[in-house]
């Protein structure tokens, strides 16, 4: 069984490959689920823009009423152009440039998630010059292990992200001196593709401890932002087309100590868009190796870098296999001049012939946004299934 109907496969076959295909119906269902499950507890959700910035995708997300979590000035600008209101935009990132800070202050975004003392001082300086008040949240590094690939772990002491707990007294001293800074929240983001909900429970426990520290100093915190990171099922996408948001939000309801009047914010990227996107390519050649055979596709690491960058697995399917054809083993590779340009080794696929349409699944997050022109390659425009 395929995620695509025979009619859809015909449509996909008419477009020049490689290209990304987005199932907007599935995206809408996913958004509806996030909305109803987070709404049960009055939680607020911001979409992490960096996962996917296709206009059609942003439009559905904006219409669903979510805010935007940005990690660069370019993303802030894009979010505002896409129609998110400034009051729904938050700006995180360990290296915000002066130009980015000034533009975001001028736009009156909702909140800067600050990652260091010098950053807070610079935001204060620019806000004073512009006659603005900057709302900030402290991105605190809670030193919680996310049990995910080390390249996408962000909440450990050794990572560059966030402010260490031992630095908090110094941070408060600085904030007291910053007239144009208003501390409104605490922010945490410990990593991505987290599938063990226990990790989020541990995060809640740490957040409670850290909050206690602020309360004991009579500092009231209006917003607790617990970041994103909920994982998706890359191995069996059709078994779990929509991640288990009910269980996810319930963990926070159960284990996070939410104080009176406090808002809880989430920043989800991958879990919202990953399953809606597929990279569609064509098999160019089947090439014999010594111990193996290679399926050479017209898509590679320039379109989807996750396998090369984080050894990520994506399910690969032959959408135009001859009915009843047997399974064979292939190393599925792209055309780029790098040995790491490989989607997977010894993958079991229905017999591939030249021209078959090959789907690389669960590619809606961190796919097209990381595409490059290396080897002067050109990605074709996306196709949206409605
Ligand atoms: C990347 C990122 C997110 C989103 O992570 P997902 O794993 O895609 O949900 C949220 N917050 C911050 C600060 C990020 O950098």
pLDDT tens string 72-88: 999 999 999 999 999 99
Q: What is the CATH number of the domain that holds 67?
A: 3.20.20.10
The whole-angstrom separation of Cα 350 and Cα 371 is 27
Burial (Cβ within 10 Å: 0-12, 13-18, ≥19) of residue 42 = exposed
What integer pLDDT is reported at residue 1 of this predicted model?
52
Tens digit of each residue's pLDDT (9 = 90 or more) over 121-135:
999 999 999 999 999
Q: What b/e string do you get for 8-38 counting C-beta neighbours within 10 Å, with b at 16 or more?
A: beeebeeeebbbbbbbbebbbebbebbeebb
Residue 287 shares a structural domain with residue 256 = no
∠ CA(206), CA(139), CA(50), 5° rounding? 115
Residue 149 has pLDDT above 90, yes or no: no
Q: Which of 52, 227, 231 has most ligand 1 atoms within 8 Å of its beta carbon, as the pocket-test mutant?
A: 227
* pLDDT computed for residue 151 by the predictor: 65
Q: Is the pLDDT of residue 136 over 70?
A: yes
Confidence (pLDDT) at 145: 77
What is residue 146's predicted lDDT score, i.e. its pLDDT? 74
Residues 164 and 197 in one domain: yes
pLDDT, mean of residues 284-313: 96
- Residue-wise pLDDT for 205-236, tens only, equals 999 999 999 999 999 999 999 999 999 999 99
The pTM of the full predicted model, rounded to 2 decimals, is: 0.96
pLDDT at 261: 93
Among the atoms of ligand 1, which is closest to the Cα of residue 154? 15
> Does the pLDDT value for residue 245 go beyond 60?
yes
Are 347 and 252 in a shared domain?
A: no
Q: Are residues 338 and 222 in the same domain?
A: no
50 lines ligand 1 (CB under 6 A): yes
Per the domain annotation, does 150 fall within a domain?
yes
CA of 192 to the centre of ligand 1 (A): 7
pLDDT, mean of residues 243-254: 98
Query: Is residue 48 lining ligand 1, measured as CB closer than 6 Å?
Result: yes
Residue 121: predicted pLDDT: 98
Note the pLDDT of residue 153. 67
Kind and range of the H or E run holding 216 = helix 197-216
User: For ligand 1, is residue 229 a contact (CB within 6 Å)?
Assistant: yes
Return the pLDDT at 56: 98
Question: Are residues 189 and 149 part of one domain?
Answer: yes
CA of 308 to the centre of ligand 1 (A): 20
Per the CB < 8 A criterion, the answer to whether 58 and 94 are in contact is no
Give the model's pLDDT for residue 252.
Answer: 98
Q: Of 224, 277, 194, 27, whose CA–CA distance to 113 is shortest? A: 224
Q: Say yes or no: CB of residue 300 within 6 Å of ligand 1.
A: no
**Average pLDDT along the chain:** 95
- What is the number of the ligand 1 atom nearest to the C-alpha of 230? 9
Atom of ligand 1 at shortest distance to CA of 194? 7
What pLDDT is stored for residue 47 in this prediction? 98
Q: Which of 227, 377, 232, 229 is nearest to 297 (CA)?
A: 377
Residue 344 sits in the same domain as residue 198 = no
pLDDT at 12: 95
Q: pLDDT at position 160, please?
A: 76
Instruction: Tell me the pLDDT band of 59, cut-offs 50, 70 and 90.
Output: very high
**Domain count within the chain:** 2
Domain membership of residue 304 as a residue range? 275-385
């Amino acid at each position: 069984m395929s995620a695509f109907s025979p009619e859809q496969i015909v449509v996909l076959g008419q477009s020049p490959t490689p290209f990304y295909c987005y199932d907007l119906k599935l995206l809408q269902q996913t958004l509806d689920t996030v909305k109803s499950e987070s709404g049960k507890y009055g939680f607020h959700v911001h979409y992490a823009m960096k996962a996917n910035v296709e206009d059609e995708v942003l439009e559905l997300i904006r219409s669903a009423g979510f805010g935007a979590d940005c990690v660069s000035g370019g993303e802030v600008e894009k979010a505002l152009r896409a129609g998110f209101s400034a009051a729904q935009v938050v700006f995180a990132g360990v290296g915000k440039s002066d130009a980015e800070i000034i533009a975001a202050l001028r736009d009156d975004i909702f909140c800067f998630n600050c990652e260091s003392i010098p950053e807070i001082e610079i935001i204060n300086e620019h806000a004073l010059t512009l006659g603005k008040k900057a709302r900030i949240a402290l991105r605190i590094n809670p030193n919680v292990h996310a049990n995910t690939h080390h390249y996408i772990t962000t909440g450990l002491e050794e990572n560059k992200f966030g402010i260490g707990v031992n630095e908090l007294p110094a941070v408060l001293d600085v904030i007291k001196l910053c007239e144009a800074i208003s501390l409104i929240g605490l922010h945490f983001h410990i990593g991505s593709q987290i599938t063990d909900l226990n990790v989020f429970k541990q995060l809640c426990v740490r957040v409670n401890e850290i909050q206690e520290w602020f309360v004991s100093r009579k500092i009231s915190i209006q917003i607790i932002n617990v970041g994103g990171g909920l994982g998706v099922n890359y191995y069996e996408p059709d078994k779990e087309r929509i991640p288990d948001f009910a269980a996810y939000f319930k963990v926070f309801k159960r284990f996070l100590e939410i104080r009176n009047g406090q808002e809880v914010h989430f920043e989800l990227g991958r879990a919202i868009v990953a399953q809606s996107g597929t990279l569609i390519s064509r098999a160019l050649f089947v090439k014999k190796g010594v111990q193996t055979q290679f399926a050479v596709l017209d898509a590679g690491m320039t379109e989807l870098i996750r396998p090369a960058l984080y050894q990520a697995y994506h399910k690969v399917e032959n959408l135009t296999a001859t009915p009843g054809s047997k399974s064979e083993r292939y190393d599925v590779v792209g055309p780029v001049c790098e040995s790491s340009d490989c989607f997977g080794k010894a993958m079991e696929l229905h017999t591939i012939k030249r021209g078959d349409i090959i789907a690389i699944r669960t590619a809606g997050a961190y796919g097209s946004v990381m595409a490059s022109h290396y080897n002067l390659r050109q990605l074709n425009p996306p196709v949206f299934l409605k």
